[in-house]
Structure 1
Amino acid sequence: MTPDQCRAARALLKWNQQRLADAAGIGIATLTLFENGATAARPATVEVLERALRDAGVVFLDEGEMVEGGAGVRLRK
């Protein structure tokens, strides 16, 4: 998951950063740094963020899975 996908997923869910941080069990500062690209997040951090978003109904699309290309997100039907 990229920082852009994370922000887009939160927008689809209408979640603020605090709600995602709570759902993932991480600090909001860690989430903010990841989403801003200020620091490389630990793989375990990205994993818990992605799991929380998937559990809430987000589907992650890898580059090439979308008509226009590029990575993205959508909500599960």
Structure 2
Amino acid sequence: MSISSEQSRAARGLLNWSQGKLSEAAGVARATIAEFEGGKRRPIANNLAAIRAALESAGVEFINGTGVKLRT
């Protein structure tokens, strides 16, 4: 399942993560995060999957393709 740029920003907000922190956790360039969240481009599939996996590993749940929450 894919995630939106809005979900990425919201998830980072829940975790209090910077784009740099997400970049490190996902193993992708910070520019990739910035361009994705800024709506400039969609990352290639493996980078998008790495972003999602990093956020999920930190406790974020993606809700019905539209929202995010922290796992309880």
Q: Secondary structure at the match of 2:51?
A: helix
Determine which of 52, 67, 76 is the counterpart of 2:71. Answer: 76
- Identical residues among aligned pairs (%): 40
Report the TM-score when normalising by structure 2. Answer: 0.93
Where relative contact order (Cα < 8 A, 6+ residues apart) is larger, the structure is 2
Amino acid at match of 1:50: R
List alignment gaps of at least 5 residues for structure 2. none
Root-mean-square deviation (CA), in Å?
Answer: 0.8
Larger Rg: 1
Determine the C-alpha separation between the residues in 1 that align with 2:31 and 2:37: 10
- Structure 1 residue runs of 4 or more that deviate by more than 2 Å after TM superposition: none
Aligned-pair CA distance for 1:74: 0.1
CA distance in 2, matches of 1:60, 1:35: 16
- When normalised by structure 1's length, the TM-score is 0.88
Could you tell me how far apart the structure 2 residues matched to 1:5 and 1:39 are?
A: 15
